[in-house]
Amino acid sequence: MSDPPAGAWRPDRDSAPWWERTGREEFAVQRCDSCGTARLPARAFCPACRTEGWHWEAAEPAGTVESWIVNRRAFAPGFAVPSVVVMVRPDAVPDCLLPGSWHAAREPVGGERVRGVFVPVRDGPTLVGWEPVVR
Amino acid sequence: MAFVVKRLLEFRDRTAIAGVGYTPFGKDSGVSTLTLACRAIMAALDDAGLTPDDVDGLATHRVGDSAAPSLVGPALGIHDPHWHLDQFGGGSVSHAVVAQAALAVAAGVAETVVCYRAINARSEFRMGGTGRALPVSPEVQYQAPYGYVAPPQQFAMYARAHMLKYGTRAEHFGQIAVTQRANAAKNPRALMRTPITLDDYLAGRWIAEPFRLLDCCLETDGACALVVTSAERARDLRRPPVLVSAAAWGGGQSHLSGGPSDPTVTAAAALAPRLYGQAGLGPADVDVAQLYDCFTYSVIVQLEDYGFCPKGEGGPYVASGATALGGPLPVNTHGGFLSEGYVHGVNHIAEAVSQLRGDAGDRQVPGAEVALSTAQPGYVLPATSALILRRG
Ligand SMILES: [Zn+2]
């Protein structure tokens, strides 16, 4: 993958530990210490029980395809056209929808099973992309 | 809770929109957003039969791309407004600005508020993902590194989810573009007035599949302003008053886990019962609807979420011709953002006012008494707002 657009990736104080983990090729979720609810993206409070305590937990980078687009013009410098961006519902946090890059020669299929791939970017984060389980 | 409902019912029809004003719409205004704002405000005040000396409130929404009330006030000699609002945000807050102005008037904080939106969205600050700096917001880090940065991409993503779940088709999106262009052909203000066919739509170049060129709204230079005052005062002014019967805010599905996560249901679904309840009306009472159409798909999902058709049937509902002029629910009679121009929600409210005053010319919905006008329905960020307006 080419460089992301300038300024696009700016981890904040909530998310920095999550991005550190993707750099180690770990797909992590926050698990609430009080009620056990998993959450993504990273933030301090559990939306279910409204408490702050949590721990990071490595999860299987697996999910299903909720939707996708095919970029037919360059919306940001440095990205190939055409290119697919996929929206995945991760098994570990099924009420979250994550956009990501798509790693297959064909387009996705609605509802198909996918697994995460870790995509290092020069001078940037390790991104989480997705590939089909059945190629 | 009963107390809250009672107070909301007291708000019904207490305030009115007494004037609307526009600048011409175009691709290069050649002037600043401050100039555009002042021109639209002066036009709206003239429409109402008022002057800046009558104004004691100013309100706008913007994303760092336009003139603030603190600049516009002094520019028009309005030196000490009793109330002002500089609302950060995109289309989802467009109707909230007018709602808040109406609340300020109903509460007696201000008597006459001008709400405006000025934008050089083509010549200076394009929204379609060509050169605009990315906003600094926590969710951007999970999107932008994948090249997923622009509204056409985000709405295309949601549109595809709706296609997958409900069988919505390109022809349904296209019917919205075709219908709204036919409306724009009857609107002298509209930027795009040449009628199109479904074949023209389907032949359009891809932008972000499943969206083609004509799924996307225009990027426009222009401004639009509205005068909000008490219903009582509006009755003494130049034009027939249009009453604010209901105003509501809502939230819904989000990119954050922990809440609703169905991408085919918008914040409008949560808002709609409150909105209708406040007005004492239902979808069947709405004579004309101006639904936020940053993209064709947003019309389909709102037809469902505001209760005009069952969930998932927005596409067939549009294909039936129901939303065309002469149909049971004319939608975006001005041509909408797709064909009139993009003033970030305010021109939808202005068109609703025009329909209820009966001065919409060739595109007038005969006898229109109740109008729904809506903000961006709560994609990208989970918030929306909407108004029900009624002929006074
Ligand atoms: Zn919890």
- ipTM value for the complex: 0.96
- Contact list in A for residue B142 (CB cut-off 8 A) is 41, 98-99
Shortest CA distance from B145: residue in chain A: A4
Q: Does A69 contact B164 at a Cβ distance shorter than 8 Å?
A: no
Where do the H-state alpha helices sit in chain B?
A: 2-11, 33-48, 69-75, 94-106, 151-166, 170-184, 198-203, 231-234, 268-279, 296-305, 314-319, 336-339, 346-357
Number of compact structural domains in chain B: 1
pLDDT tens, position by position, for chain B (392 residues)? 455 567 778 899 999 999 999 999 999 999 999 999 999 999 999 999 999 999 999 999 998 888 999 999 999 999 999 999 999 998 999 999 999 999 999 999 999 999 999 999 999 877 665 555 555 677 889 998 999 989 999 999 999 999 999 999 999 999 999 999 999 999 999 999 999 999 999 999 999 999 999 999 999 999 999 999 999 999 999 999 999 999 999 998 888 899 999 999 999 999 999 999 999 999 999 999 999 999 999 999 999 999 999 999 999 999 999 999 999 999 999 999 999 999 999 999 999 999 999 999 999 999 999 999 999 999 988 999 999 999 99
Residue B91: inside a domain: yes
A-B contacts (CB, under 8 Å): 136
Residue B44: inside a domain: yes
Q: Is B292 a catalytic residue?
A: yes
Residue A81: inside a domain: yes
Residue A92: inside a domain: yes
3-state helix vs strand vs coil in chain A, percent to 5: 5, 40, 55
Closest by Cβ to B258, choosing from A72, A95, A100: A95
pTM of the model: 0.96
Characterize the bridge pairing of strands B57-62 and B112-120.
parallel
* Percentage with pLDDT > 90 across chain A: 81
At residue A15 the predicted structure's pLDDT band, cuts being 50, 70 and 90, is very high
Q: A64, A73, A83, A130: which to substitute to probe chain B, counting the most B Cβ within 10 Å?
A: A73
Q: Residue count of chain A, please give it.
A: 135
Residue B47: inside a domain: yes
Where do the H-state alpha helices sit in A37-95?
A: none
**Which position has the token pair 């390109």?**
B170
Could you give the CA distance from residue B117 to residue B19 in angstroms, rounded to a whole number? 15
CA proximity to A85, closest of A74, A93, A96, A95: A74
- Please give the pLDDT value at position B135: 58
Residue A115: inside a domain: yes
Residue B6: inside a domain: no
Shortest CA distance from A45: residue in chain B: B258
Residue B210: inside a domain: no
Residue A6: inside a domain: no
Write out the residue range of the structural domain in which residue B39 sits: 11-123+217-391
Q: What integer best gives the mean pLDDT of chain A?
A: 93
> Tokens standing for B98?
């007018």
Task: Give the distance from residue B99's alpha carbon to the nearest chain A alpha carbon, in angstroms.
Answer: 29
Using the CB atoms, write b or e for B74-90: b if 16+ within 10 Å. Answer: eebebeebebbbbeebb
Number of compact structural domains in chain A: 1
Residue B157: inside a domain: no
Residue A40: inside a domain: yes
- Please give the pLDDT value at position B131: 52
Could you give the CA distance from residue B162 to residue B230 in angstroms, rounded to a whole number? 41
- Please give the pLDDT value at position B68: 96
Angle at which helices B94-106 and B346-357 cross, to 10°: 60
> Tokens standing for B182?
């036919």
Residue B134: inside a domain: no
Shortest CA distance from B205: residue in chain A: A72
Residue B172: inside a domain: no
Write out the residue range of the structural domain in which residue A122 sits: 16-132
* CATH code of the domain covering residue B289: 3.40.47.10
- Contact list in A for residue B208 (CB cut-off 8 A) is 69-73, 75
Residue A74: inside a domain: yes
Per-residue model confidence as pLDDT tens digits over A24-83 = 999 999 999 999 999 999 999 999 999 999 999 999 999 999 999 999 998 888 888 999
Closest by Cβ to B149, choosing from A15, A76, A93: A76
Closest by Cβ to A71, choosing from B144, B208, B258: B208
